[in-house]
A and B are shown apart, each in its own frame.
Chain A
């Protein structure tokens, strides 16, 4: 079974631009979560989608948004990029089995550099 794939792997943008990152979950996984990883703050939860609906949201400004499609693929968008948005953006997919913990499988990430 193929793992979580993220595209692109690397991206360079300038301040003020916007960017869209894509994540394809493991086949059969319906939940997709996004995390931001930086040296200073570590791994921080951005948001989680299930059945095309945002289920949880982390403490990030409204410039960060996402969506999920009917095939469970997800995209996240960052508008009006700032230097501090430079980070590794990780996507994780999992099955949805109710109240028990559902293991999240991470993709390799998209390295975003904002100049």
Chain B
């Protein structure tokens, strides 16, 4: 099935550092989403983006919907140990409950 290209695959950073990850697609999406998954849990929605060019923040997290509608990035500022986990981007076409297309995830490790 179709997937998004998400990078980097993994990151090791020091506590307090900023983090950036991005996602690209060959297809246009109407909605971009960023999820975080902790071990033993399902993904939890962090940020949803609905409009090309949109920049949205959720606490220390900031995400942008690319103007081409084919990419998105997520920034985490001043990382803390609880930021550890796997971050997924996902895209979908707004049409009722059309399925989400996911990236393969960025595994984030924070060194205290």
Contact = CB atoms under 8 A, between A and B. Distances in A.
Contact of A56 (B43, B44, B50, B97): B97
A98 B97 CA distance: 8
Interface residues of B, number: 27
Interface residues of A, number: 31
Nearest to A102: B97
Nearest to B45: A103
B73 to A, nearest CB: 19
A64 interface: no
A102 B40 CA distance: 24
B48 A58 contact: no
A105 B45 CA distance: 8
Nearest to B35: A106
Contacts of B48: 101, 103
Contacts of B45: 103-105
A33 B99 contact: yes
What 6 A-B pairs are tightest by C-beta distance, nearest first?
Answer: A106-B42, A45-B99, A43-B102, A42-B104, A101-B31, A59-B1
Interface of B: 1, 3, 30-31, 40-45, 48, 50, 88, 90, 92, 94-105
